[in-house]
Amino acid sequence: MTVVRQYKLPNCTLSLEGLSDATGTVDSSPARAPLTVLVNAECRFANRPEPLSGGLEFFDSLVSAVNTYVRQWMSGIEQPIRPAGGQPQAVELMAIENGLHRLLVRSPETAPDPVRVDLTTVQLFDLVEAIDQCFADATTLPGRSLALSPLPRRHARAEVPLARRAAPAAVGVSGLAAAAALFFMLPVPETRRPAEVNPGVSEGIEPQVDPENGAAAPPDLEVETEPEPEVEPPSSEELAAALEDSQEITDPDRLAALGQQLSEDLYNERDEAAAIPSPLSYRVTVGADGAILGYRPDNEAARNNAEATPLPDLRFVPAEGGRATTEAFADFKVVFEPNGAIEIAPWHGYSEAPSPPPEITDSETIARLEADLRETITAEWTGDPIFDRDLEYRLGVTEDGTIAEVEPLSDTASVYYGELPLEDLHRSEAALSREDDIVVRVPLAQYRVVFTPQGYLETSPWRGR
Amino acid sequence: MQSTRPPTDTPPAPLILDRLPDFPVPKGVCPRRMRMQIDLILLAIEALDVTAAPVILKFVDQLQLQTLIPNRVALWQLRSTNPLRRFSQRRALSLEEAKALVMLAHHLCKRLTVAVRQLAIDYDRARSQNIPLDKEPRLAYYLKRFRTHFRSRMNPRRSLTAYYSNDEKLNELASRLLLQLLFCTGTNGAQRLWVALLDGEILDTEIRD
């Protein structure tokens, strides 16, 4: 018996016509009889009078093209378009300019020119939904499933440069950017894409700033084809030789400022997800301006796991290669703890205790900054606290009102830190400045700030009024 | 449904998660890109729907995900495995936890089907007629809310976040997320999101080297 099934969405109607192998089924009324043999599939778009249609091969090819394309489009990861020399698929989908999606359907009747349908994203979604409803329907082609599955790593990695050239899709843009950073150094393989595919889009993203390492990708491809000479960071021996003539910084205040700068850099650049199996200890040499000149592992674990730390990325290599020259330097012991903490202390300790951080003591300034501080925090705090007890912090504020230091005064305060506007307002880099390429600490006014579960904000100068 | 399972140390995963297939992922935990994307998807939902926060917890109950997400703080901690977060959690996101977040995203999206679809239509129109996205009032409102959410929750000192300090770049991200939400509203929305999140991240099971 002939059975017809229709899946109707605002922009797309999918009709399947087939036969029912009713033998053995208890309920054989036409409405419930399973469509087991597909004879004809028809796909009609609202803005296009003539439908696309074909037999089982067309239907299978349509489903497979849609599944692959939608997955790629959502993830931003592309896979090879098709093996070189392989037969073109009966149905293909590709991204074109203006955020449209091009559906190409080949059949013996249409050969050699495929039928072309350009879809908006909403139209594409309706096609996907019609397919999904069809597969969710147990009485249509029972025993078949969508079999959605991701692309294995191996394929994805090989294709990243290609993906980078195409329109970055969906959230994949961030993943792509990260991957682009990895692949930027590799020669870009020759990849051929059909000429009509998004000519404008690739232009748009090519010269983008590579967000993972902040380096601007050269807009000029000529530069890319000429392999850059490998810049070797200085070995520890070279570094030791270079430092022999230099002067080690021993002034406790300068050491404190450099330690703070180092901590700032390491915390900002670490990868929170990197696994640190056991404490990794390094001797890190920094210049007077805070740049990391080199580092040496100080234990076995550190030797094997440097990649888990931001040190390799942060090591300063002069643009012209070779090694950094410096007149003054300081050594620090840096320990990366498995719990994510980073311990930093001068390698030779402090000759005497560094003076306390410079402080703003003028009472008028303190009062003015407190008023500003209340205003800034209140403007950003939307209330609706999710904590159930008072959260207390010490804040250090620069003369221009920037919150440069935040110290939670309890465990609870540190747990909920991220839910408060403090984190948004906190600019730890403001606690340091560079004068003549020397890192110095900036004077701060200190306050005690309390956030209450009722949504109130209490502030007071740290040393009382 | 009443459960008569004896109490065990590790409660079995909620049944609803079986709808999302298992794939071999290195070390069995969610890769960085995935943690980032799940959280951004939820952020886009929050930008669309002011009531999303309480509704998420309602869905946690409805979908019986309490063993994985017992309360609001636990939810926040899972989302904070996004390395871009200001207070990023240094903990792994298990595949079961990720599945729970994906199911939540799917149900939240379904609830917003009409709004998401309307915005996607606005977006398609703006793109095809080369109208700046900000000129579509509904879209502009969503984009603005997304930018605010993104900037208040993500760590501006991460270089990727710094990349999005440009409004236009952030609008682009918000628009792509919006279109992803459209696909999440579908019959197979959860599965399609799940597969896209794992795309390019799974181990090759046939060839081992």
Domain carrying residue A384: 363-461
Q: How far is the alpha carbon of B205 from chain A, nearest alpha carbon, in Å?
A: 8
Please indicate, yes or no, whether residues A425 and A382 belong to a single structural domain of this protein.
Answer: yes
Q: CB distance from A371 to chain B under 8 Å?
A: no
With respect to residue A379, please indicate whether it lies within any of the assigned structural domains: yes
Looking at the structure of chain B, the number of domains it has is 1
Q: How high is the pLDDT of residue A202?
A: 37
User: Does position B142 have pLDDT exceeding 90, yes or no?
Assistant: yes
Cross-chain residue pair A98–B163, CB shorter than 8 Å: no
With respect to residue B23, please indicate whether it lies within any of the assigned structural domains: no
Query: A445-451 and A391-397: which strand pairing?
Result: antiparallel
With respect to residue A307, please indicate whether it lies within any of the assigned structural domains: yes
Please indicate, yes or no, whether residues A14 and A125 belong to a single structural domain of this protein.
Answer: yes
Domain carrying residue B120: 28-197
Please indicate, yes or no, whether residues A38 and A119 belong to a single structural domain of this protein.
Answer: yes
User: Does position B156 have pLDDT exceeding 90, yes or no?
Assistant: no
Among chain A residues, CA nearest to B200: A153
Residue numbers in B near A128 (CB within 8 A)? 183, 186, 192
Q: CB distance from A132 to chain B under 8 Å?
A: yes
Q: How high is the pLDDT of residue A226?
A: 35
* Domain final position from A287, A317, A346: A346
Q: CB distance from B93 to chain A under 8 Å?
A: no
pLDDT tens sequence for chain A (465 residues)? 788 999 999 999 999 999 987 665 555 565 678 898 999 999 999 888 889 999 999 999 999 999 999 998 998 876 655 554 556 788 999 998 888 999 999 887 766 788 899 999 999 999 999 999 999 998 888 888 888 888 877 655 433 332 232 333 333 333 333 333 333 333 333 333 444 334 333 333 333 334 444 333 333 333 333 333 344 455 566 666 656 667 888 888 889 999 988 988 888 777 767 778 889 999 999 888 788 888 889 998 898 888 788 887 777 655 444 445 556 889 999 999 888 889 999 999 888 888 888 899 888 999 999 999 998 888 888 767 778 889 999 999 999 888 988 888 888 888 788 778 887 788 887 888 877 778 888 899 999 999 988 888 899 998 876
With respect to residue A327, please indicate whether it lies within any of the assigned structural domains: yes
Among chain A residues, CA nearest to B21: A149
With respect to residue B161, please indicate whether it lies within any of the assigned structural domains: yes
Please indicate, yes or no, whether residues A340 and A252 belong to a single structural domain of this protein.
Answer: yes
User: A 71-110 residues with CB below 8 A of B?
Assistant: 71-72, 74-75, 77, 98-100
> pLDDT tens across B100-133, in order?
999 999 999 999 999 999 999 999 999 988 899 9
Q: Which residues contact A464 (CB under 8 A, 6 or more apart)?
A: none
Please indicate, yes or no, whether residues A373 and A284 belong to a single structural domain of this protein.
Answer: no
Residue numbers in A near B186 (CB within 8 A)? 125, 128-129, 132
> Which of B99, B176, B197 is the best substitution to test chain A (most A C-beta atoms within 10 A)?
B176
Please indicate, yes or no, whether residues A373 and A440 belong to a single structural domain of this protein.
Answer: yes
* Domain final position from A346, A379, A396: A346
Please indicate, yes or no, whether residues A261 and A204 belong to a single structural domain of this protein.
Answer: no
Cross-chain residue pair A272–B162, CB shorter than 8 Å: no
Residue A153 to residue A169: CA distance in whole angstroms: 18
Cross-chain residue pair B33–A99, CB shorter than 8 Å: no
Cross-chain residue pair A75–B199, CB shorter than 8 Å: yes
* Domain final position from A206, A225, A244: A225
Please indicate, yes or no, whether residues A308 and A425 belong to a single structural domain of this protein.
Answer: no
Please indicate, yes or no, whether residues A323 and A378 belong to a single structural domain of this protein.
Answer: no
Among chain B residues, CA nearest to A66: B192
With respect to residue B10, please indicate whether it lies within any of the assigned structural domains: no
Residue A142 in tokens: 């029972």
Looking at the structure of chain A, the number of domains it has is 4
Nearest to B158 by CA among A433, A272, A319, A206: A272
Q: Given the structure tokens 């095809």, which residue do they identify?
A: B128
With respect to residue B207, please indicate whether it lies within any of the assigned structural domains: no
Cα torsion A194, A195, A196, A201: sign: positive
Q: Are A261 and A430 in contact (CB under 8 A)?
A: no
> Which of A97, A124, A125, A264 is the best substitution to test chain B (most B C-beta atoms within 10 A)?
A125
Please indicate, yes or no, whether residues A198 and A175 belong to a single structural domain of this protein.
Answer: yes
Q: Are A385 and A453 in contact (CB under 8 A)?
A: yes
Q: How high is the pLDDT of residue A243?
A: 60
Q: Are B74 and B106 in contact (CB under 8 A)?
A: no
Residue numbers in B near A125 (CB within 8 A)? 120, 182-183, 186
Cross-chain residue pair B160–A417, CB shorter than 8 Å: no
- In this prediction, residues B192-200 reach a mean pLDDT of 92
User: Does position B169 have pLDDT exceeding 50, yes or no?
Assistant: yes
Q: How far is the alpha carbon of A145 from chain B, nearest alpha carbon, in Å?
A: 12
Q: How far is the alpha carbon of B128 from chain A, nearest alpha carbon, in Å?
A: 6
Strands, E assignment, A46-106: 52-54, 91-95, 101-105
Cross-chain residue pair A74–B180, CB shorter than 8 Å: yes
Cross-chain residue pair B192–A77, CB shorter than 8 Å: no
Express the helix, strand and coil content of chain B in percent, nearest 5 each. 60, 0, 35
- pTM, two decimal places: 0.58
Q: Are A262 and A344 in contact (CB under 8 A)?
A: yes
Q: CB distance from A170 to chain B under 8 Å?
A: yes
Q: How high is the pLDDT of residue B69?
A: 94
Residue numbers in A near B198 (CB within 8 A)? 150
ipTM above 0.85, yes or no: yes
Q: How high is the pLDDT of residue A208?
A: 39
- In this prediction, residues B79-90 reach a mean pLDDT of 81
Residue A145 to residue A135: CA distance in whole angstroms: 6
Please indicate, yes or no, whether residues A308 and A394 belong to a single structural domain of this protein.
Answer: no
DSSP state of A173: H
With respect to residue A36, please indicate whether it lies within any of the assigned structural domains: yes
Residue A52 to residue B47: CA distance in whole angstroms: 38
Residue A223 in tokens: 């530069």
